[in-house]
Structure 1
Amino acid sequence: MESSSDLRSMIEQTLTMIITPDQQLIEKGQTQLQALELLDIYALALTEITIDTKRDISVRQLAGVLLRKYVSKHWTKDIENFIEPEVPEQVKSQIRHILPHGLNEPNHRLRVGLACVISAVAEWDCPESWPELLPFLIESLKSTNKSLIHGSIRVLTEIVRDLDDRQLPYVLPLLLPEMYRLMVSNEFNLRIRTRAIGVFTLLVSLVHDINEHDRILSVGYILPYLSHYCEAFKRFLIAPDSSLMTDTGCRIETIRALTLLFKSFPKLMQQNAAELLQSVWTCLTSNTENYVATVVYKHGEMDASVDSDGETLSFECLIYSLFEFVQVLMDLSMYKNSVKSSMEELCYYLILCMQITEEEFDSWSKNVSRYVEDESDDSFSHSVRLSALELLMSITSEFKKEAGIGLWKAVHRHLSHAEALKAHNSSRWWKLHEACLLAMGRCKQLLNDMIVTGYVKIDLEAFIRQVPLADLSQFDYPYLVCQAALFAGRFSRLLSIDVNRIFLDGICQLLEHAQHPIINLSSLRAFYYYCEEVGVDQTNDVINYLPRIFEGILATMSRIPQSAYIWPLESLAILISVDENFVSTIENRLSPLAIELFVNYVQDPLINGETTAIIKGLVHNSKVSHLIQERLIPLVQSIVDNNSVASTLPRIASSLAFSVLDLLTTVLRSLNPPINSNLLNQTFPVVIHLLLTSDDQQILINGGECLCAFLSCVSTDLFSWNDPKTNISSIEYILQVLAKFLDPKTPENCCTFIGKLIRGFIREINKTNQPSLLGDTLGQILKAVLAKLQSKNNEIEKLV
């Protein structure tokens, strides 16, 4: 049997093979390594190789990587993705003894890797099996070895989160002064000092967690150190980067710490609040200006870095943290007035952050779908622009009067500045215009209220003529044109007929002549807002523009990818609700388009929802209802008949037949009787066929709902129907369906509609005043229902 030293030597030789450029040796080494992983001492050998400074650094780094990976899979059987073998307890003990000595490793990358291994082991073993680790780490912070301090604080960052209430009284008095010392000392680099702030923040969160159990105790923990930390935080927030006292990453961590302190201990923070809030404000204003210069306009150096955990430390991250801090202040009654008193300035800087960045400009220009995704009212995208907008809307919701006045004053300042820039031939003016229109447009309801009550003195028509309508002709700045159109559409309810006509004529011209598809998309969205604001029953002025807008929709959809269809389709859905007579002139183009879109994108929930809405609108239109019903027949038949649909229309996959049944249900519930006889004759048998023959759960559920729709919407026509092929009546078919789904053997999850179907069937039969249609089947139905219920009770009893 080979000795342990021989095995260690073999492992080291194998690692050496893997780092060579020879592909054959690499493959041989990897094969040997798979066998060596099964040895009990494998993890211990990797640990010893990793911390041995006499060995080759490349071998040590590879050993460290393999050790980290091995620990994550084999350390304990409690690991989620555990793989045999588990590291033996004796070997674990040896590894725990050796690992901390690696924290003073001079090589940064290797030290970070070892710190990660220690953190991974500590997650399972500390403090029960590794009680000496925490005291070692705390004592190491007092060392003069900066590598050891860095490694120790990295581990502390991970294990502090898992401290419990019993450990806190021991740890807090030791760690809080040490974190402060590291944080303010110029002897250490900014990353160590920033990590010290992070550990402090973690400790505060732990203290807050026990706050509910023992408030006095928690306050006693934090109070002795609070003023010292607050004083340091003020310096970090306002010191220039050139002082080497702080940088963006340090400020981010400082704002996070203050956010938690104010949120967790608002009363304790009152003593230091005034100076701290002033420091935060200084940080917000100066870094917003830096953000605008380096991110919005890409002038100057980007102050962005990535820490050793891979977290980006940039102006964007700092702005997000500052916004979160402001939101916390708003949620605290004792600090809410500090936000209210700065409303105009806050709105001013939020609008600065809403400007389109160069990166967004490039991204949207290359990908119109990204533009639609980012700029939708219910966008899930994440950006400084959208975060600033979200905070502004939160502010306007909380401080309506003050926010409305402050917003208008801030907009007025920006527009004045934009005019000065424009006069000096600076292209920066358009981004300010666009951001102001975005802010005002999204806060439309508040500004409407402010204008009505007189708190804000705005001649809205004059403003719209001078700013957004004038901006519609700025084709050199397409995103300004987009926002101008959207703004005018949002405020159309408050505008005169003449101004709205100028707006409608403007967006039609954009649809016909704009070169950039983003302008077309925004013009259609502006039309959608117009119809929403004015109301489709009060849009007589728009009727003359409908042909141009319809052609604009079709032209736009031909220029954009499917992922950007949502805005044109929403515009089309609202267009067909404006004027029935116009819709009748385009039905021969619109109906086939809607059905084709439904078939092609049946699996896209957004497009499917809008095409269904369009078809529903056509069915509801008395002038074209019978025509669209006729066109839908081949689509429904296609889910059971391979030869029933023209070759120009793609077939619906059988697995998606439930979507067609869902569409048919919507159609039935939308139409005004009488139903197109062909639709009834051709589609009712399809539904019955699927219900009686299919075992697909979704088809059975949707088919059942569709049958209920036939009963509730067109029962008069339905009960007089007979299958021409078999002479079986609709009532007999329905009874067959009931018999199938009331059969105790039919799975419960397929029968969710059965109660509704029985009630609807009996109700509609009674309406005919011909109860004899049921014959003696009512008693049979009731017996079947009781049998079904009895089988269900038996199943429940079995479970009990």
Structure 2
Amino acid sequence: MANLIDQDQEWLLNCLNATLDPNQEIRSLAEVSLRQASLQPGHSPPLLPSKSPISIQSNRTLFLQEVIRRLLLPSLDDSHRKICTAISMAIASIAVYDWPENWPDLLPFLLKLINDRTNVSGVHGALRCLALLSGDLDDTVVPTLVPVLFPCLLTIVSSPQNLFKQNYDNYLRTKALTIVYSCVSVLGIMSGVYKTEIIALITPMLKPWMDQFSAILEPPMQPEDPDNWSLRMEVLKCLNQFVQNFPSLTESEFMVIVGPLWQTFVTSLSVYMRSSIECTEDPYGDRYDSDGAEKSLDAFVIQLFEFLLTIVGSAKLMKVLFKVFDSVCAVFFRHYVYET
């Protein structure tokens, strides 16, 4: 057995040394040999002694990274959600250091998964991975990512209205909105320096997203539906970012939000009364999804009031709000006079 291990180590050292050869043909042959060996049962790059030269150890590390990436990505659509989440976390942990420079094919692979409507597990894995990555996105990535990614996310979020397409559940729609929130936050920071470019980027996307936010907020709030609260909460967080970072753009599209927002605000009262005031039942506290994100009623209410405070602090949006309320009051007054 010792001789066999020594032979494996010697072969591996020779291959890794060959990958440093100045001759392109020799390097390519060594890379192919390593790639083929990695597919064989029992192949173990860690057999390489730790006292090997630093250049060889560095090559071994790069080779191991390549093998790990190649093994992880196809497993991202595992049907078991916990396994899928674990793989997503592993990919995101590697991508923080390697993507996009040293892992250029990661995003195309994730977008391909997201667009495959026949593979819901793949959509879940890709969204979970992007949601984890979204917290580390910066101004070097987001401007090129948004034009490609946002149409895919909009398709997922709007799936209940697309009768002839895959209908995704609220969990996946919420994850998609989490990514939108992170990207809009980065764009908002960038707009301080690159205002013209960011406005040109965000303007074509604003109306379809506002229409979708309106569609989510419009139905009455239902008790015993924490997944829907989470979805609405992410909508409110996204709206908050749009309003804070792009008030002049949001003003023209804000009218479509006011009615649905009021509907959400009013109908959430009865749900909140049952839980926190009357205390007749308390199924709403300490709720978390499978990824550990809070989806309690209290978290939703806090986010709702935070967004309302943002609106109140904007003179432009308050003008829009008063116009809507004036028309509503006028209709109510005419109806009241007619009835009496």
Q: What's the TM-score once normalised by structure 1's chain length?
A: 0.31
Deviation digits for residues 353-375 of structure 1 (CA, Å, limit 9, x no counterpart): xxxxxxxxxxxxxxxxxxxxxxx
Q: Does 1:181 align with 2:163?
A: no
Q: Give the superposition deviation at 1:125.
A: 1.4
The equivalent of 1:378 in structure 2 is: none
Number of equivalent positions? 266
1:208 corresponds to which letter in structure 2? G
Q: Distance in 1 between matches of 2:319 and 2:208?
A: 26
Q: Give the superposition deviation at 1:88.
A: 2.3
The equivalent of 1:105 in structure 2 is: 78
2:122 corresponds to which letter in structure 1? L
The equivalent of 2:335 in structure 1 is: none
Mark the CA change 1:153 to 1:163 in structure 2 (over 3 Å): closer, same or farther: same
Q: Give the superposition deviation at 1:341.
A: 9.5
- Aligned counterpart in structure 1 of residue 133 of structure 2, from 152, 159, 170: 159
Q: Does 1:318 align with 2:291?
A: no
Q: Distance in 2 between matches of 1:342 and 1:327?
A: 18
Deviation digits for residues 93-123 of structure 1 (CA, Å, limit 9, x no counterpart): 2111211111111111111111111111111
- Aligned counterpart in structure 1 of residue 241 of structure 2, from 228, 252, 260: 260
Q: Give the superposition deviation at 1:221.
A: 1.5
Deviation digits for residues 181-233 of structure 1 (CA, Å, limit 9, x no counterpart): 00011311110011111111112112112112221211121111211111111
- Aligned counterpart in structure 2 of residue 219 of structure 1, from 177, 196, 199: 199
Q: Does 1:269 align with 2:250?
A: yes
- Aligned counterpart in structure 1 of residue 313 of structure 2, from 322, 331, 341: 331
Q: Distance in 1 between matches of 2:174 and 2:255?
A: 24
Q: Does 1:209 align with 2:189?
A: yes
SS of the aligned residue for 1:293 comes to helix
Q: Give the superposition deviation at 1:259.
A: 0.8
Match runs of 1:30-41 below 5 Å:
none
1:104–1:145 contact (8 Å) kept in structure 2: yes
2:255–2:324 contact (8 Å) kept in structure 1: no
The equivalent of 2:88 in structure 1 is: 115
Q: Give the superposition deviation at 1:128.
A: 2.1
SS of the aligned residue for 1:269 comes to helix
1:306–1:313 contact (8 Å) kept in structure 2: yes
Q: Give the superposition deviation at 1:158.
A: 2.1
The equivalent of 1:132 in structure 2 is: 105
2:255–2:320 contact (8 Å) kept in structure 1: no
1:259–1:328 contact (8 Å) kept in structure 2: yes
- Aligned counterpart in structure 1 of residue 264 of structure 2, from 276, 283, 286: 283
Q: Give the superposition deviation at 1:175.
A: 0.7
Q: Distance in 1 between matches of 2:256 and 2:156?
A: 23
1:248–1:303 contact (8 Å) kept in structure 2: no
2:303 corresponds to which letter in structure 1? S
- Aligned counterpart in structure 2 of residue 93 of structure 1, from 61, 66, 73: 66
Mark the CA change 1:327 to 1:315 in structure 2 (over 3 Å): closer, same or farther: same
Q: Give the superposition deviation at 1:157.
A: 1.0
2:93 corresponds to which letter in structure 1? A
Q: Distance in 1 between matches of 2:76 and 2:140?
A: 27
The equivalent of 1:698 in structure 2 is: none
Deviation digits for residues 295-318 of structure 1 (CA, Å, limit 9, x no counterpart): 222335635641122122021011
Mark the CA change 1:147 to 1:235 in structure 2 (over 3 Å): closer, same or farther: same
SS of the aligned residue for 2:79 comes to coil
Mark the CA change 1:295 to 1:142 in structure 2 (over 3 Å): closer, same or farther: same
Mark the CA change 1:293 to 1:89 in structure 2 (over 3 Å): closer, same or farther: same
Q: Distance in 1 between matches of 2:254 and 2:133?
A: 31
Q: Give the superposition deviation at 1:132.
A: 1.2
1:295–1:302 contact (8 Å) kept in structure 2: no
1:249–1:313 contact (8 Å) kept in structure 2: yes
Q: Distance in 2 between matches of 1:147 and 1:238?
A: 29
The equivalent of 2:146 in structure 1 is: 172
2:170 corresponds to which letter in structure 1? L
Match runs of 1:275-424 below 5 Å:
275-300=256-281, 302-303=283-284, 305-336=287-318
Q: Distance in 2 between matches of 1:188 and 1:319?
A: 25
Q: Distance in 1 between matches of 2:323 and 2:203?
A: 29
Q: Give the superposition deviation at 1:281.
A: 2.2
Q: Distance in 2 between matches of 1:107 and 1:124?
A: 27
Mark the CA change 1:329 to 1:303 in structure 2 (over 3 Å): closer, same or farther: same
2:258–2:321 contact (8 Å) kept in structure 1: no
Match runs of 1:537-552 below 5 Å:
none
1:288–1:319 contact (8 Å) kept in structure 2: no
Q: Distance in 1 between matches of 2:304 and 2:293?
A: 17
1:95 corresponds to which letter in structure 2? I
Q: Distance in 1 between matches of 2:141 and 2:242?
A: 21
The equivalent of 2:54 in structure 1 is: none
Q: Distance in 2 between matches of 1:288 and 1:99?
A: 46
Q: Give the superposition deviation at 1:342.
A: 11
Q: Distance in 1 between matches of 2:299 and 2:252?
A: 28
Q: State, as a whole percentage, how many aligned pairs show the same letter.
A: 23
Q: Which has the higher contact order (CA 8 A, sep 6+)?
A: 2
1:178 corresponds to which letter in structure 2? C
2:220–2:264 contact (8 Å) kept in structure 1: no
The equivalent of 2:209 in structure 1 is: 229
The equivalent of 1:150 in structure 2 is: 124
Q: Distance in 2 between matches of 1:257 and 1:293?
A: 28
Deviation digits for residues 477-507 of structure 1 (CA, Å, limit 9, x no counterpart): xxxxxxxxxxxxxxxxxxxxxxxxxxxxxxx
Q: Distance in 2 between matches of 1:263 and 1:247?
A: 24
The equivalent of 2:53 in structure 1 is: none
Q: Give the superposition deviation at 1:235.
A: 1.5
SS of the aligned residue for 1:247 comes to helix
Q: What's the TM-score once normalised by structure 2's chain length?
A: 0.70
Mark the CA change 1:185 to 1:312 in structure 2 (over 3 Å): closer, same or farther: same
1:276 corresponds to which letter in structure 2? I
Q: Distance in 2 between matches of 1:260 and 1:288?
A: 25
1:298 corresponds to which letter in structure 2? C
SS of the aligned residue for 1:162 comes to coil
Q: Give the superposition deviation at 1:325.
A: 0.6
Match runs of 1:576-725 below 5 Å:
none
Q: Distance in 2 between matches of 1:107 and 1:241?
A: 31
What runs of 5+ residues in structure 2 fail to find an aligned partner? 9-37, 43-59, 161-166, 326-340
SS of the aligned residue for 2:151 comes to helix
- Aligned counterpart in structure 1 of residue 171 of structure 2, from 191, 214, 235: 191
Q: Distance in 2 between matches of 1:240 and 1:282?
A: 6
SS of the aligned residue for 2:267 comes to helix
1:197–1:253 contact (8 Å) kept in structure 2: yes
Q: Distance in 2 between matches of 1:306 and 1:239?
A: 23
